[in-house]
Each structure stands twice: as structure tokens, then as C-alpha cells.
């Protein structure tokens, strides 16, 4: 056998050709085996929910970080939701260290005063003002003015809560809240979203009778919830489906669900009413072609779920922000930024927009009188540099 023939079969560096094939095929084979044996089983989602083009607001501020300020930087560790008390001009929020904190709202960021109220012993998400100077925390807990924490309820119809999320309190004291999923807790909530099954519920708690009632179930990651000013309905968000729906509390439509706003340009989290005729919907991140495909095809979601288990994946969310809609769900204004991620709540107080995040260690504040959303045509014409 000639040396030329040997070199052809072994490669220029003497490496056997079969070994090269093995090096190439081994990781592919391992990935296929891992995919087949992994128990994660994503479900098909209703495809019709992802066929329409995302809605667009007539007014936009696509560079809301320009001119924004940070409150409580390094002190407020992941202020996921915000509740405002107009009487005391104080914001309440739940942080990643377990503390419910009180933030005194002032004109100057330098004069911001932050106080600890109570430690819940967990990771508080949704917060709402109670009727007696107390705070209701999704969980479901009641935090008194003195800092006493009391468990109100932790199950409904024999099923324990796993991820209580949004909460609001009616003028009659009735508490309405969401359980995003009864299957997964917060630390692995992304698996619930990738699984694509309706594990979410909307519930009510009556402080007088101590009854916990399931109002809605089979929801796709039920998230934020906000009552209407006349208390005739509340709006709740389903993150996966990028929509918010209206649940009627009064009249001949009592107990029925209606469309409120659909095809949002991002994944909705908390929703807040501003007292001026508008709901503000926080969007964790924008929707993309990748996510549209992932929701359509379960194998993409399974591949992503397996990757998350073994490979640290950095946060890549962008164009997070807040959209204001009117009482009928029509978009009014959209504040967002390509460098902004993980916004989980937005509250308009006077001329300011306050945004909280489950990850960032501060509250973002934007002066709406100085950095208003502009007509979309004007934004496209002048460019983002205007902001």
C-alpha cells in the first residue's frame, strides 16, 4: 500500500477518518438521545392566537431610558410590583430579599426615603392596598401597618397555590388574585411557560367569610390583575397568549369573560389602573419571530427547556416597557426601549411613570411631561434620536 493511500484514509495529520466522523456525530447523537429521554412534554398551543400582527399604539416613546431616573438603586432588590397610596404619597413594593418596602415619593430622587415594612419569608410578587392601612400580598398574605404578616389563604378546592402573582382589592374588601400556575413555583416558572398548558387560575378571597373561590381556571400563565374604577369588572393578563381579558363582576354579564386587548407587542405582566381612565400594562419583553415559532412548534420549546437545564442562558430580553390602554382596551401610548428588559409593572402617578422589575435593583422613573410619547408617524419621521 502506498503512503498516499494511507494518508487519504487517515487524514493529513494521521487522524483516522472514522474518528473524525465520530467526533462530528457523537454530540448530535447525544442530543437526539437526550431529547427523546427527557420527560419534558410541551403541549400544542392554540395556533390562532399567534396569527395576528401585534397591535401598535398611536403614540410612542421608543427610548424611554433617555431621561429616566433610578430610585432606590441597590436597595430595592427586584421590586416586582408597585402599589401607590395617594394619601401618604408612598409606594409599596415586594423585593427579592423577602421584604415589603415603603418608598416615599418625592420630586427629587436624592430625597427618596425607603423603609422596611415586613419580611414575608418568601419572594413577594403582587401587592395591593388594603382597606385598613394594610398591604395585601399575593400569597395570600395581609401585612399590617405595624409589620405583622398574616396568612389569609394558600389553597383553593384542595389545590395549593404555586405562583400567586397579581392582586387587587375591591372597595368592599373582596380580594381578587391570580395563581399563574398550580404546577411550578417561581424558580422554575419558565418551564410552565414552555410547557404551554393552562395551569393558571383567577381567584377571590372574602375576608368576612374567609372563603377562597376559583373564578376562572385553565388559563395560560395568569399574571397581573386590576379592578375597574366602578368595580364592575377586573382585567387580568395571560402572559403566554399576549392578551388581557375582562371578567364581569356585576349585572347580567356577571361571571362572564370578554376580550379586552389582544396581540400585545410583548408579554404582559402586571396591569395597573391610573385613576385617569387608563390601564397600564407592563410587558416583560417584546415578541419576536422566534417566540412565534416556539409557541407554534412544541419541539422548539422542548429543545429550549432542555438547554436551560444544562446551559446557563443570559437574559436577552429587550424592548421591555409599558403600554397604556383606555377603558375599552384600545392602545393609547407605548413606552419602551431596546435596552430595557424585564419590566414587570408600570404605575402612573401624576406626571411620572414608575416601573418595577423582578430582576433590576431599582425603580425606573420617567417624567411624562418632559418625555412624552409622540405620534407614531412623527417618531418614524424624526427618528429615535429625538428621545
Tens of pLDDT, residue by residue over 189-226, are: 999 999 999 999 999 999 999 999 999 999 999 999 99
Among the listed residues 363, 171, 210, the one whose alpha carbon sits nearest the alpha carbon of residue 282: 363
Q: What is the pLDDT of residue 20?
A: 64
Q: What is the pLDDT of residue 382?
A: 44
**Residue 38 predicted with pLDDT over 90:** no
Tell me the sheet residues that pair with 202.
Answer: 178, 216
C-alpha cell at 379: 417618531
Among the listed residues 109, 56, 101, the one whose alpha carbon sits nearest the alpha carbon of residue 80: 101
Cα distances (Å, whole numbers) of residue 116 to 47, 51, 103, 129, 228: 46, 46, 9, 16, 30
Domain limits, the chain: 38-386
Please tell me what DSSP assigns to residue 14: S
Please tell me what DSSP assigns to residue 55: P
Among the listed residues 26, 24, 45, the one whose alpha carbon sits nearest the alpha carbon of residue 299: 45
**Sequence-distant (≥ 6) Cβ neighbours of residue 2 within 8 angstroms:** none
**Nearest-angstrom CA–CA distance, 139 and 200:** 14
pLDDT tens track for 151-183: 999 999 999 999 999 999 999 999 999 999 999
pLDDT tens track for 53-72: 999 999 999 999 999 999 99
Model confidence at 286, in pLDDT bands (50, 70, 90)? very high
**Nearest-angstrom CA–CA distance, 70 and 74:** 10
C-alpha cell at 165: 402573582
Instruction: Using the Cα atoms of residue 101, residue 102, residue 107 and residue 110 in order, give the sign of their dihedral.
Output: negative
How does the average pLDDT of the chain come out, rounded? 90
CB 117 within 8 A of CB 135: yes
**Residue 377 predicted with pLDDT over 70:** no
**Nearest-angstrom CA–CA distance, 251 and 171:** 17
Poorest-pLDDT segment among 119-123, 309-313, 324-328: 309-313
Instruction: Using the Cα atoms of residue 321, residue 327, residue 329 and residue 332 in order, give the sign of their dihedral.
Output: negative
pTM over 0.85: yes
Model confidence at 92, in pLDDT bands (50, 70, 90)? very high
Domain 38-386: top CATH class? mainly beta
CB 71 within 8 A of CB 91: no
Amino acid at each position: 500500500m502506498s503512503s498516499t493511500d494511507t494518508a487519504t484514509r487517515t487524514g493529513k495529520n494521521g487522524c483516522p477518518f472514522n474518528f473524525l466522523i465520530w467526533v462530528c456525530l457523537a454530540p448530535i447523537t447525544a442530543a437526539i438521545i437526550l431529547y427523546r429521554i427527557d420527560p419534558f412534554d410541551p403541549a400544542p398551543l392554540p395556533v390562532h392566537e399567534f396569527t395576528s400582527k401585534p397591535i401598535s399604539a398611536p403614540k410612542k416613546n421608543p427610548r424611554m431610558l433617555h431621561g429616566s431616573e433610578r430610585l432606590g438603586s441597590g436597595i430595592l432588590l427586584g421590586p416586582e410590583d408597585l402599589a401607590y397610596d395617594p394619601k401618604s404619597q408612598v409606594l409599596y413594593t415586594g423585593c427579592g430579599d423577602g421584604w415589603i418596602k415603603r418608598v416615599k415619593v418625592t420630586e427629587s430622587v436624592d430625597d427618596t426615603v425607603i423603609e422596611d415594612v415586613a419580611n414575608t419569608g418568601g419572594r413577594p410578587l403582587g401587592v395591593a392596598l388594603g382597606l385598613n392601612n394594610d398591604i395585601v400580598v399575593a400569597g395570600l398574605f395581609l401585612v399590617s401597618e405595624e409589620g405583622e404578616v398574616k396568612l389569609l389563604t394558600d389553597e383553593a378546592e384542595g389545590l395549593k397555590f404555586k405562583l400567586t402573582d397579581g392582586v387587587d382589592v375591591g372597595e368592599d374588601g373582596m380580594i381578587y388574585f391570580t395563581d399563574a400556575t398550580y404546577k411550578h413555583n417561581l424558580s422554575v416558572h419558565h418551564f410552565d411557560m414552555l410547557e404551554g398548558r393552562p395551569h393558571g387560575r383567577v381567584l377571590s378571597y372574602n375576608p368576612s367569610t374567609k372563603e377562597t373561590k376559583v373564578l376562572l381556571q385553565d388559563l395560560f400563565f395568569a399574571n397581573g390583575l386590576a379592578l375597574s374604577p366602578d368595580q364592575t369588572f377586573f382585567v387580568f393578563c395571560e402572559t403566554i397568549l399576549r392578551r388581557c381579558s375582562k371578567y364581569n363582576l356585576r349585572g347580567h354579564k356577571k361571571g362572564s369573560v370578554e376580550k379586552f386587548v389582544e396581540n400585545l407587542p410583548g408579554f404582559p405582566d402586571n396591569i395597573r389602573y391610573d385613576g385617569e381612565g387608563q390601564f397600564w400594562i407592563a410587558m416583560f419583553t417584546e415578541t419576536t419571530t422566534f417566540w412565534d415559532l416556539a409557541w407554534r412548534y412544541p419541539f422548539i420549546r422542548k429543545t429550549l427547556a432542555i438547554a436551560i437545564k444544562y446551559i446557563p442562558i443570559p437574559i436577552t430580553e429587550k424592548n421591555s416597557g409599558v403600554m397604556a390602554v383606555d377603558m375599552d382596551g384600545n392602545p393609547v401610548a407605548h413606552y419602551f426601549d431596546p435596552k430595557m428588559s424585564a419590566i414587570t409593572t408600570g404605575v402612573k402617578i401624576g406626571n411620572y411613570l414608575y416601573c418595577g422589575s423582578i430582576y433590576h435593583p431599582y425603580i425606573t422613573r420617567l417624567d411624562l411631561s418632559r418625555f412624552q410619547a409622540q405620534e407614531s408617524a412623527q417618531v418614524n419621521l424624526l427618528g429615535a434620536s429625538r428621545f
